[in-house]
A = this chain, B = another copy of it.
Amino acid sequence: MKIAVDAMGGDFAPAEVVKGALSVAREDSALTIILVGDEAAIRLQLASEGDIPSNITIEHTDEVIEMGDHPASAVRKKRNSSLVVCGQLVKSGRADATISAGNTGAAMAVAALDLGRIPGIERPAIAASLPTAHGATLLVDAGANVDCSPQNLLQFALLGSIYAEKVMGVANPRVGLLNIGGEAGKGNDLTKTTYALLESRPLNFIGNVEGKDVFEHAADVVVCDGFAGNVLLKTGEAVAEYIVTLLSQEAKAGGQATVEALGPPMKRLLSKIDYAETGGAPLLGVNGVSFISHGRSRAKAIASAIRAAAKAAGTDYVSTVRDAVPTFSEERP
């Protein structure tokens, strides 16, 4: 298994990316990691990290897509950028999956333009894994498509359902529609039309879900447009951070130096809500496995994303989606 890692992507690249890649390479010798980026910069970082395992290789590139670059035009112009070359490695079969903590829009563009969409899927989507009280819930779309049609959401449901089954190991995944009321007939024009479409297809559709249902793990897959999905994701992160800040202030006011002084329960909680534990988010609906990581990813988050990408690449997810699209596109008889 070979994973192409964008060594130049993210706020702490290449240092933290190289560190994360090294830690995975050392723990799993069956995995080959291709560090894609400026060879001199990568070698400099590797030199400071002790022995280099033989399952680390370098693919030199001399361009970088910056965070502020316009995604589609940067991908068209910077053909020798680390991000574009990562996509090319997967397309040509020299890598089985790729991950990047760089410009998310550009990573989406590479996936859509270079890997290409799976026939019948109009819009690739970002799938985010949310921690809940009883396991992970997959949110599709988490922010790639801000204006969606009911057909887009229907396709997100297919992409998410197969991902939950093949990669997350969930049998007959429960698919919920993010909405602002539980009953059928609730919601805006988009969700009302989508509800009927979801009912008409071979899915384990369980109906509408609200915020509280999402975090009680009422569904394995939650479908929504990328605007609502991104609001949910960022609000969830923000409230979690806000509560930790509040607890920290309270702890200090109580004479304790840090929130960790609240003891082992707080430490275990902090690790559960640490985004670094979940790593990256897959781009679904394209011909290959492509993960994106948070721009502020450190080594631990990069390592998690590499492991997640390797896991996904070890399944027949993409071919299953490709085979399922034609029959899924027809309504139930």
Contact = CB atoms under 8 A, between A and B. Distances in A.
A267 to B, nearest CB: 9
Interface in A224-258: 225-228, 230-243, 245-247, 250-251, 253-254, 256
B232 A235 contact: yes
Contacts of A228: 227-228, 231
A143 interface: yes
A206 interface: no
Given A178-B231, A188-B147, A254-B265, A246 B133 contact: yes
By secondary structure, the A interface counts as helix
Interface in A181-223: 187-189, 191, 210-212, 214-216
Contacts of A240: 239, 243
A45 interface: no
A55 interface: no
A243 B180 contact: no
A268 interface: yes
Number of copies: 2
B239 A215 contact: yes
B180 A230 contact: yes
A188 B146 contact: yes
A264 B269 contact: no
Nearest to A251: B265
Interface string A265-308: 11011001100000000000000000000000000000000000
A262 interface: yes
Nearest to A142: B180
A263 interface: yes
Given A180-B143, A227-B187, A232-B231, A243 B269 contact: yes
Contacts of A226: 180
Given A132-B242, A180-B143, A250 B269 contact: yes
Given A133-B242, A239-B240, A234 B211 contact: yes
16 contacts: A143-B180, A146-B180, A188-B225, A210-B238, A211-B236, A215-B235, A215-B238, A227-B228, A228-B231, A239-B240, A239-B243, A246-B269, A247-B266, A250-B265, A256-B265, A262-B265
Given A211-B234, A246-B269, 10 more contacts: A146-B187, A188-B225, A210-B238, A211-B231, A211-B239, A212-B237, A215-B242, A231-B231, A246-B273, A262-B263
3 closest A-B pairs (Cβ-Cβ)? Answer: A211-B234, A250-B265, A146-B188
Interface of A: 132-133, 143, 146-147, 178, 180, 187-189, 191, 210-212, 214-216, 225-228, 230-243, 245-247, 250-251, 253-254, 256, 262-266, 268-269, 272-273
